[in-house]
Structure 1
Amino acid sequence: MRRWNGWGDDANNFPLNKHARKFLESRVGKAKALPDADFKSALKKVPESRIDNPHPLLSTDAEDRLRHARGQSLEDWLAMREGELGPFPDAVCWPETSEDVKQLLAWAGEQNIKVIPYGGGTSVAGHIIATSSDKRPIVTIDMGRMRQLEDLDTASQIATFGAGVAGPDLEAQLKARGYTLGHYPQSWELSTLGGWIATRSSGQQSYRYGRIEQMFAGGEMETPIGTLEIPEIPANSAGQDMRELVLGSEGRLGIITKAKVRVTPKAEHESFHGVFFPNWQQGHDCLQAIGQEKIPVSMLRLSNPEETSSHMVLAGHPYLLGGLKRYLKLRGCHEGQMCVAMIGATGSKSFAKTALKQAIKQCKRFGGIYIGAPLGKKWEHSRFRSPYVRHTMWDAGFAVDTFETCVKWSNVSKTMQTMEQAVKDAAQEMGVKVQVFTHLSHVYAQGSSIYTTYIFNVAKDYPETLQRWKNFKKASSEAIVACGGTISHQHGVGVDHASYLPAEKGELGMKVMRNNIQLMDPGGIMNPGKLVADIETEVDSLAVQSLDKKKQQQIKQTA
């Protein structure tokens, strides 16, 4: 059964081995877990619904409302674990057709009720929470029953799905027909097609299949003023592309009900391979070269030295890893300096073999040591387990969170160093220790995404632990802004990143976005406070757009 206060199925558990715990304690100190609230006590805190004239599709059941109150950000996690989840939606509903959604939006407009679209509940940026400033009743619309493959045009390789379909169900329906979408975000187990589109998601093999914007061909979105239909034309020069209006809209314009996506025949072969580099710079330069030469592998990832060493310890098997380290040392890769890269090869057997051969040739040119597929098989086996590790860490008294950005190649290393240093400086100011490491997860000819993880001890209570997270979030976000990176490469904006968006979009860009929202949602009922912050918050956030020059210099100099 799905957990009410964390990630995924409660039958899945991946214990923290003794070597991993000892390693973490050596980096951040002894840890002591905080007490978790039980389900019954949390349920008692759900207030009476404020809806006086309910729609027939609505449920005001306390458990339904509790299970839809939070996403998966660390702030959400702390709220669930403490048992203080509020504010809650006043009702939840599960439409089964586009017509149901249309009627619900019309009813919400008439009743002056706000609406939160809900896919898989996997948001790590506050997309699905009811904010404390909401005075009107709130209804969460769960799209999970709209999950069928409605059509597959094999000649054009276009599949039409209900937007509530989750990753495993989507791939299973396509696999039965010999196809794949190939979109595998880390949240794949629970996240949905509509959510991927609404937040501009990126999957682990985006290098082959593209990000969701390359896959999204058209579809339908129900808005408060009507249905927006987008035909699946391969390409056009007929004005602005309406797909771009829907992509990244985060529920502010309407609810995606049907999505037409570009699919690919299922690959004959797929494998993942490990390569070690003596240092970060050689690995960085190799991935840049592969990306700019457009060698057709399916995935490229590069862990920095700290992530490489951390993952080798956290993975366990110290004796096997000891042998690997000795071999790598003989080849010039020393612990604390070496970096591991993962390379995917997907397609026909001959195509995958040729692509991998070309990539390995480049790796060797930059001093890489190819160690074959065993490490890749281990990564593939655990590729969707990482969200469960948060449970393992939490039970041992450790909190773990991530943040990410994307910059051009000339700025990748400096930005990575600046982001990590910002977290370390924030920890020092609080008098705590932090373990921080980074990898490049999505490579482009122009640049790369940068994905940073940090681990710290929980505090003596929940409020202090939350404050630690807020300090880390502020420091990392300001570092990203100072380095000219996007505030989010793959997690969207939601509430958590909204105050930093003006720094990226500019005053005119924010006005365009706000005008689009006001046009499509004149009553202001759609997902309030997400993506584009309320006016007061946005005015305050203009300070972020032009961070004090002295502070910018201080941040940049940490690299």
Structure 2
Amino acid sequence: MRRWNGWGDSNNHYPLKPSGLAFIQARLGRAEPLPDAEMAAVIAQVPASRLPEHPGVKTDAETRLRHARGQSLPDWLAMRSGEFERFPDGVASPSSSEEVRALLDWALAQGITVIPYGGGTSVAGHINPPEGDAPVLTLSLAAMDQLMDLDTQSQIATFGAGTPGPKVEQQLRERGYMLGHFPQSWELSTIGGWVASRSSGQQSMRYGRIEQMFAGGRVETPKGTLTIPTIPASSAGPDLREIILGSEGRMGVITEVKVRVTPLPETETFQVAFAPDWDTGKELVRQMTQAKIPLSMLRLSNA
């Protein structure tokens, strides 16, 4: 199960090594660690929901707690200390675009603020409930996590927007394809979230950033359904995809994402080279980039 106040699965542990602790203490000094908040104590802080009853909305305290914060440093401090401040009034988990449409219509009629929620990896604060008198509904797309279609002729795949990175690649790999988009949040973030945040992957040199992969899709907006067809590049006017890319949920709820995929490579290798100094390494990277050597990733690291 996902940690309620940290990153990743609660069964995975990566304790700080003694050498790492010594390194930090040597630079920051010794200090007493702050105690971690207990979930029961935080649950006791969750106020009563302000939402009217709805069969598709959960209002129990633990579900609301688990959808209250993202993964920025301020979020982590709030979660570890138990000082969440605000919680959504309810969480809905629709399984189709039609259910999203119905929930949006219900929320708009009731004056409810809606927050689209993908993998919860946000560092921009946009999934945190805002201050105000309006009740808040978090719309989780976790149930919309399937490969819906794969057109092998055009090499365009359609996914439910809540599909997390590992499931995107797993479902494509079974058909002999890959997307190749690997942001640092890959294990928990979703394909809809990548579009909404204009994400960049670690192998974007070969496979492209998400704006190069995003071919179209479906967005449920406050005014109705926006369908973005998979039209090729055109000189006739603005590209609707650019309006949705990086919109962070402001334009509506992205429910279906069409992306350009690639056949699985026969082989893939990762190489490491050493440069005598930083300036030499920087020059080497510049020359390799400008020569357009067909790499998937090029990274320069210092000590």
Once the 2 structures are TM-superposed, how far is the Cα of residue 161 of structure 1 from its aligned partner?
0.5
Equivalent residue runs for 1:77-88 within 5 Å = 77-88=76-87
Q: Which amino acid aligns with 1:94?
A: S
Q: 1 CA distance for matches of 2:21 and 2:86? A: 35
Q: With structure 2 as the length reference, what TM-score do the two structures score?
A: 0.97
Residue of structure 2 equivalent to 1:195: 193
Q: Deviations over 1:250-271 (max 9, x none)?
A: 0011000110000001111122
Partner amino acid, structure 2, of 1:24? I
**Alpha-carbon separation, structure 1, partners of 2:173 and 2:164:** 14
Deviation by residue 1:380-420 (Cα, 9 ceiling, x = unmatched): xxxxxxxxxxxxxxxxxxxxxxxxxxxxxxxxxxxxxxxxx
Please tell me whether the aligned partners of residues 69 and 86 of structure 1 are also in contact (alpha carbons under 8 angstroms): no
Contiguous gaps of at least 5 residues in structure 1: 309-559
- Are 1:160 and 2:167 an aligned pair? no
2:300 equivalent in structure 1: 302
Matched residue SS, 1:35: coil
Q: Describe how 1:245-324 pairs up with structure 2 within 5 A.
A: 245-304=243-302, 308=303
Letter in 2 for 1:96: S
Match of 1:503 in 2: none
Which residue matches 2:18?
A: 18
Task: Tell me the residue number matched to 1:96.
Answer: 95
Q: Which amino acid aligns with 2:262?
A: T
Aligned mates of 2:35, 2:23 — CA distance in 1: 23
**What TM-score results when the alignment is normalised by the length of structure 1?**
0.53
Which amino acid letter does the alignment assign opposite residue 30 of structure 2?
A: K
Amino acid in the other structure paired with 1:266: L
1:152 Cα deviation (Å)?
Answer: 0.3
Identify the residue that residue 49 of structure 2 maps to in structure 1. 49
Note the 1:104-253 alignment, pairs <5 A: 104-132=103-131, 134-253=132-251
Tell me which amino acid in the other structure corresponds to 1:48: A
Instruction: Give the Cα–Cα distance (whole angstroms) in 2 for the partners of residues 19 and 208 of structure 1.
Output: 37
Equivalent-residue separation in structure 1 for 2:162 and 2:47 (angstroms): 28
Amino acid at match of 1:272: F
Counting only pairs closer than 5 Å after superposition, residues 286-435 of structure 1 correspond to structure 2 as 286-304=284-302, 308=303
Paired residues in the alignment total 303
Give the letter for the 1:19 counterpart. Answer: S
Distance 2:43 2:301 in 1: 42
Greater relative CO, 1 or 2 (CA 8 Å, sep 6+) = 1
Q: Are 1:180 and 1:266, in contact at CA under 8 Å, matched by a contact in 2?
A: yes
> Structure 2: which amino acid aligns with 1:14?
Y
Separation of aligned partners in 2, 1:271 and 1:239: 41
Shift of 1:276: 2.1
Question: Distance in 2 between the 1:269 and 1:32 partners?
Answer: 50
| Amino acid corresponding to residue 50 of structure 1 in structure 2 | R
Q: Percent identity?
A: 61
What SS class does the counterpart of residue 75 from structure 2 fall into?
helix
Residues 61-111 of structure 1 deviation map (CA, whole Å, 9 limit, x = unaligned) = 111100000010010001111111121100000011111111111111110
For 1:30 and 1:276, locate their aligned partners in 2 and report how far apart those are by CA, in whole Å: 36
Q: Separation in 2 of the partners of 1:151 and 1:203? A: 23
Superposed CA deviations along residues 131-189 of structure 1, whole A, max 9, x for unmatched, are: 22x22000000001011111100111000000000001111100100100000111111
Report the Cα distance in structure 2 between the residues aligned to 1:96 and 1:276, rounded to whole angstroms.
49
Question: Which of the two has greater helix per residue?
Answer: 1
**What letter matches 1:246 in structure 2?**
I
Q: Deviations over 1:304-363 (max 9, x none)?
A: 3xxx2xxxxxxxxxxxxxxxxxxxxxxxxxxxxxxxxxxxxxxxxxxxxxxxxxxxxxxx
Q: C-alpha deviations, 1:511-559, integer Å up to 9, x for none?
A: xxxxxxxxxxxxxxxxxxxxxxxxxxxxxxxxxxxxxxxxxxxxxxxxx
Deviation, 1:14, is: 1.7
Structure 2 gap ranges (5+): none
CA distance in 1: counterparts of 2:274 and 2:81, whole angstroms: 42
> Which secondary structure state, in structure 2, belongs to the residue aligned with residue 159 of structure 1?
strand
For 1:276 and 1:229, locate their aligned partners in 2 and report how far apart those are by CA, in whole Å.
49
The answer to whether the 8 Å contact 1:215/1:263 transfers is yes
Q: Distance in 2 between matches of 1:271 and 1:125?
A: 34
**Displacement after TM superposition at 1:17 (Å):** 2.1
Deviation at 1:15, TM superposition (A): 2.2
Pick which of 272-281 and 226-235 moved more. Answer: 272-281
* Rg larger in structure: 1
**SS of match in other structure, 1:270:** coil
Which AA in structure 2 matches 1:29?
A: G
- Report the 3-state secondary structure (helix = DSSP H, G, I; strand = E; otherwise coil) of the residue aligned with 1:117: strand
Secondary structure at 2:269's aligned position in 1?
strand
**What displacement does 1:28 show?**
2.6
Distance 1:303 1:28, change over 3 A: farther
* 1:448-488 superposed Cα distances (whole Å, 9 cap, x missing partner): xxxxxxxxxxxxxxxxxxxxxxxxxxxxxxxxxxxxxxxxx
State the 1:272 CA deviation: 1.6
Letter of the 2:257 partner, please give it: A
The Cα of 1:25 is off from its aligned counterpart by 2.3
Contact 1:46 1:86 in 2 (8 A): no
Instruction: Quote the residue 2:2 is aligned against.
Output: 2
Partner of 1:489: none
1:482-521 to structure 2, matched below 5 A, reads: none
RMSD: 1.1
State the secondary structure of the residue aligned to 1:273.
Answer: coil
Q: How far off is 1:237 after superposition?
A: 1.9
Matches of 2:46 and 2:207 in 1, distance apart? 43
**SS of 1:221's equivalent?**
strand
